[in-house]
Structure 1
Amino acid sequence: MHQPISLFIDFDGTISREDTTDLILQRFADPGWEAVEDAWASGKIGSRDCMARQVALLRALPADLDGFAGGIEVDPDFPAFMALCRRRGLAVTVLSDGLDRVARSVLRRLGFDVPVLSNRLRWQGGDRWQLEFPHARPDCASAAGNCKCSRFSASVVKVGPKLSDGRIAALVGDGRSDFCAAEQADAVFAKGRLAAHCDRSGIRHTAFSGFGDLAPLFEDWLERVRPAAAGEVPNGLRHHA
């Protein structure tokens, strides 16, 4: 029997070309959002507090926000990578410390229906918005809105190379919100700031620059931990052409 593999993929800067929250704020927020960003960058506030304050400064009608999200660029090789995951029957979850409405909009445009665990953007009427944090934890090491490390430490005790519930949990990411998750994951595929953090911290990882070069590296890893079986079928991933 194959050990189940759960693959968690970051959204902003990994699936999308740029940080989509920054793009939304640049387009629709009061300029004061930049001062809040500076407070976060200097470590004065956590990402949860930062994003809540920034979203409160948004001034956009839902149709305008969704229309803007529809034009967000993604890594052109992401759909092919998802096809690989589908062939190998992997359970894929998008794990983001950004905005759920934006991530889901982009994924729907690409034809993918996968779980998205992210901060919840709530319309308050008119052009006002509020951010909720259904996946926050008070003890989160990163003070993040979405405590990603909790996805990997739910079964804290590891048995050999896997979590005690039998899952092999892999992370694909690029930024600060992935740092603590990288310390918990069974396999880490990293780019950008996450790759630099893993280098500094001695975290074993596979570096990549985009889904095009990630695909063969990821498939090599899959063959080592779980060789392909004839007739393997999708598990937890649906693709709508």
Structure 2
Amino acid sequence: MRSIAVFCDFDGTVTETDNIIAIMKYFNPPGWIQLKDAILTQKISVREGVGLMFSLLPSSMKEEIIQFALHNAKIRAGFADFIDFLKQERIPLYIVSGGIDFFVHPILEPFVPIADIFCNGSDFSKESIEILWPHSCDSNCDHDCGCCKPSIIRALDGDELYKIVIGDSITDLQAAIQADFVLARDFLLEKCQEFDIPHRPFTSFYDCMKEIRTKLEVVR
């Protein structure tokens, strides 16, 4: 019998849209679009690009950005029921996010303990926002991820752990490659199909519940 654990992305997965992109679009600092495009085309790493994007914003805007994120973020349908389902089945949920603590934590506060959230940090003591990287890549990853999802999974993994990854983007791909099963949408869904990774598509967290129920019958 194997234990199941769920590793779930935040931006574009728990929330319906990417909060970093929403913040950048709204506050629109000069140069952010070029940095975003460089990340997506993998000309620069996620760590480098995200750090540079937030350095374009002054630290004095911290509260304004937090309030924007709280009002803008829309939680994907079924998330609260999904959490209740996992608690009932005694399945641990870890949020693994390339987002930043100062907006990830407030958005997730009603749902997930901070101890189960792995994301990037922030420093507002200087003139511009500085991003911190408490979950950098381990010796098995050289992608300069920023918040390295596969490294977090390896640190939490056990020999009998059945790993389910839920995500949507390029930042979830390396985690998906080492998962036993993936619930995917958007870019990640295309890559799961391309690389023949065991997966199912999802639209809401009710879809995720349905798929995990079927896995419980097989894994346990």
TM-score of the pair, normalised by structure 2: 0.89
- Equivalent residue number for residue 62 of structure 2: 62
Q: Taking structure 1 as reference, are residues 172 and 130 closer, same or farther at Cα in structure 2, changes over 3 Å only?
A: same
* Counterpart Cα distance in 1 of 2:79 and 2:20: 19
Q: What is the letter of the counterpart of residue 35 of structure 2?
A: V
- Equivalent residue number for residue 89 of structure 1: 90
2:205 is aligned with 1:211: yes
Report how far residue 119 of structure 1 moved: 1.0
Q: What is the letter of the counterpart of residue 61 of structure 2?
A: L
* Counterpart Cα distance in 2 of 1:4 and 1:164: 9
Instruction: Determine if contact 1:10/1:95 at 8 Å carries over to the other structure.
Output: yes
Report how far residue 225 of structure 1 moved: 1.1
Q: How does 1:21-100 map to 2 (within 5 A)?
A: 21-59=20-58, 61-71=61-71, 72-100=73-101
Report how far residue 113 of structure 1 moved: 1.9
Instruction: Determine if contact 1:25/1:58 at 8 Å carries over to the other structure.
Output: no
- Equivalent residue number for residue 130 of structure 2: 130
Identity %: 27
- Equivalent residue number for residue 148 of structure 2: 147
Q: Secondary structure at the match of 2:135?
A: coil
Report how far residue 61 of structure 1 moved: 2.4
Instruction: Determine if contact 1:10/1:96 at 8 Å carries over to the other structure.
Output: yes
Report how far residue 84 of structure 1 moved: 0.6
- Equivalent residue number for residue 184 of structure 2: 190
2:169 is aligned with 1:170: no
Report how far residue 91 of structure 1 moved: 1.2
Stretch deviating more after TM superposition (130-139 or 197-206): 130-139
2:97 is aligned with 1:121: no
Report how far residue 167 of structure 1 moved: 2.1
Is the radius of gyration larger for structure 1 or structure 2?
Answer: 1
After TM superposition, which residue ranges in structure 1, 4 or more long, deviate above 6 angstroms?
Answer: none
Stretch deviating more after TM superposition (133-142 or 10-19): 133-142
CA-to-aligned-CA distance 1:110-134 (integer Å, 9 cap, x gap): 34325111111222256x3110111
TM-score of the pair, normalised by structure 1: 0.82
Q: What is the letter of the counterpart of residue 159 of structure 2?
A: D
Q: What is the letter of the counterpart of residue 205 of structure 1?
A: H
CA-to-aligned-CA distance 1:212-238 (integer Å, 9 cap, x gap): 222211211122212xxxxxxxxxxxx
Instruction: Determine if contact 2:83/2:111 at 8 Å carries over to the other structure.
Output: no
Instruction: Determine if contact 2:180/2:198 at 8 Å carries over to the other structure.
Output: no
Q: What is the letter of the counterpart of residue 107 of structure 1?
A: L
Q: What is the letter of the counterpart of residue 50 of structure 2?
A: M
* Counterpart Cα distance in 2 of 1:138 and 1:221: 29
* Counterpart Cα distance in 2 of 1:164 and 1:94: 18
- Equivalent residue number for residue 225 of structure 1: 219
Q: Secondary structure at the match of 1:26?
A: helix
Instruction: Determine if contact 2:98/2:147 at 8 Å carries over to the other structure.
Output: yes
Q: Secondary structure at the match of 2:103?
A: helix
Name stretches of at least 5 consecutive residues in structure 1 with no aligned partner: 156-162, 227-241
Instruction: Count residues in correspondence.
Output: 216
